[in-house]
Chain A
Amino acid sequence: ETGVTQTPRHLVMGMTNKKSLKCEQHLGHNAMYWYKQSAKKPLELMFVYNFKEQTENNSVPSRFSPECPNSSHLFLHLHTLQPEDSALYLCASSHQRSGDEQYFGPGTRLTVT
């Protein structure tokens, strides 16, 4: 148990659908992250939130829209996705201190049809 949960674990959606991924952490961390994991590629950092404020957006297409209502919850709203967006989406959290490890959730396996 890592203290970071993600729902749903699996999601299949059409290109015209709207869905949301949810992440929750109970570790008292102040930074939360969304990563995209595609096969045989490095993890791609998508968004970083620190104390509910977005501090990084790595040129992510606008069809991905993050939301962080508080330090414990993070959402990723999805709309009009493309098949190449199919991947494992990982949420992580950490203290915002250099050298501290990030704690990862189990991920949401997203398939866009």
Chain B
Amino acid sequence: AQSVTQLDSQVPVFEEAPVELRCNYSSSVSVYLFWYVQYPNQGLQLLLKYLSGSTLVKGINGFEAEFNKSQTSFHLRKPSVHISDTAEYFCAVTRSNDYKLSFGAGTTVTVRA
């Protein structure tokens, strides 16, 4: 079975600073990877996903993530955050022949002025 580890539970960051959220996965087979965001009092919303091809994936709201197979990582980055990026971020993985997701525990990003 696959699993996901999000290495930081909380990340405080100042407005307009860059942010990186770390995600590592373990799987014995090829995988698809996802990042979701959850704003307060809302459900999860897809930011981006990696299925195949270029290892650098661009998503909504200026986020991007890089798939690194050798390091089994899929870190999420944004070069300049806004107050509105304050949210919880979840990394998720599925086997490439499956549709069910395994989620990490989440990273809470708090952006301060």
Interface residues of A (CB under 8 A from B): 2, 4, 6, 31, 33, 40-43, 45, 48, 56, 90, 92, 94-102, 104-107
What CA separation (Å) do A76 and B22 show in the bound complex? 34
Q: Is B94's CB under 8 angstroms from A2's CB? A: no
Q: Beyond A56-B100, A101-B34, is A90–B106 a contact (Cβ under 8 Å)?
A: no
Residue in contact with A102 in the complex, picked from B51, B98, B101, CB distance below 8 Å: B101
Q: Is the CB–CB distance between A99 and B49 below 8 Å?
A: yes
**A40–B9 CB distance below 8 A:** yes
B105 contacts partner chain A, Cβ-Cβ < 8 Å = yes
- Chain B residue at minimum C-beta to C-beta distance from A94: B99
Interface of A is mostly: loop
Contact of B51 among A56, A99, A107 (CB under 8 A): A99
- Residue numbers of B with Cβ under 8 A of A are 4, 9, 32, 34, 36, 41-46, 49, 51, 90, 94-106
Number of A-B contacts (CB under 8 A): 59
Q: A43-B90, A98-B94, A98-B97 are in contact. Are A90 and B43 (CB under 8 A)?
A: yes
Query: A41 CA to B49 CA in the complex, in Å?
Result: 22
**3 shortest A-B CB distances, which residue pairs?**
A104-B43, A43-B103, A104-B44
- Give 28 pairs: A residue, B residue, CB < 8 Å, sorted on A: A2-B43, A4-B43, A33-B100, A40-B9, A41-B105, A42-B4, A42-B102, A43-B103, A48-B100, A90-B43, A92-B43, A92-B44, A94-B99, A98-B32, A98-B97, A99-B32, A99-B49, A99-B51, A99-B94, A99-B99, A101-B49, A102-B44, A102-B101, A104-B45, A105-B43, A106-B41, A106-B42, A107-B42
